[in-house]
Amino acid sequence: MVQTGSERIVLEIPVHFTAEELARLCRVSTDSAAFGVVEESLDAVNENAAPKAVIKWATVDRVEGDFTTVDGAVFQSKVVADKLKDTPRVFLSVITAGSGLEACGEFDGDPFLDTFNGALLAHATGYTIRTMKERFGFDGSSMLNPGSLPDWPIRNNFTLFDLIGNVEEIGVTIRENGYMKPWNTTSHIHFSGHGYQNCSLCRKYDCVGRRAKFDRNEYVRIFGTEP
Ligand code: SF4
């Protein structure tokens, strides 16, 4: 773990998967043909993967209407205001699978490359949340992500990056449209709570990645309109 400054922390996330662990993260059954691919690629993944994260404490200065001020920066979002109104302190983060697999050359043209990077991002996210809990006693399992709901668009990444500072240190850059590079990278405000998931307010009803049921009552309460 590399520490820079008093509150900003860079995590270099270890990767020592067993074949079963990597298969679970890839959502591959151990009795499927794809498990053989996971076994064949295991050493290359463990040797070359370089997921990282940068996290930073931030203070919620105030919430007024739809506007939330965090460390002096203002976000406009009904969801952010609703979730942070009773939250004095949050963690900001950018978490990435990194580009170690692309850089090593062993996965050129491999149709499993994106699956492995998705697995690395899931692993890195779990590691980052555990670090918040074990090192700082902070339950950061509730997360808000710019771009996951129309209410808090992707362009809010610019403010989030400015608040964290030097996100490039973990190999992540931000494009003109607010999306991040490498592709398997996510950005968050982590707050204590009861496992809030953006999916509960997301109207992409048939999304295959859905992690929580759509909550119509909560949608109406926060947005004041029918979905
Ligand atoms: S339902 Fe799908 S698109 Fe919507 S927030 Fe969840 S994962 Fe993202």
Ligand 1 atom nearest to 208, measured from its CA: 2
| 204, part of any domain | no
Which sign does the torsion angle of CA 13, 122, 22, 139 carry? positive
Instruction: Quote the ligand 1 centre to 148 CA distance (angstroms).
Output: 7
Q: Residue 152 sits in which domain range? A: 2-196
Query: Would you say residue 140 has pLDDT above 70?
Result: yes
What is residue 6's predicted lDDT score, i.e. its pLDDT? 56
Q: How does residue 209 score in pLDDT terms, banded at 50, 70 and 90?
A: confident
Segment 100-104 mean pLDDT: 96
Query: Would you say residue 107 has pLDDT above 50?
Result: yes
| 48, part of any domain | yes
Query: For residue 101, what is the DSSP state?
Result: H
Q: How does residue 2 score in pLDDT terms, banded at 50, 70 and 90?
A: very low
Q: Which of 1-5, 36-40, 111-115, 153-157 has the weakest average pLDDT?
A: 1-5
CATH for 79: 3.40.109.40
- Confirm or reject: Cβ of 186 under 6 Å from ligand 1: no
Query: Would you say residue 5 has pLDDT above 80?
Result: no
Q: Which of 26, 60, 54 shows the shortest CA–CA distance to 40?
A: 26
What is residue 65's predicted lDDT score, i.e. its pLDDT? 95
Instruction: Quote the ligand 1 centre to 187 CA distance (angstroms).
Output: 15
Contact 140, 92 (CB under 8 A): no
User: How far, in Å, are 26, 119, 145 from residue 9 at the CA level?
Assistant: 28, 23, 19
What is residue 139's predicted lDDT score, i.e. its pLDDT? 84
| 168, part of any domain | yes
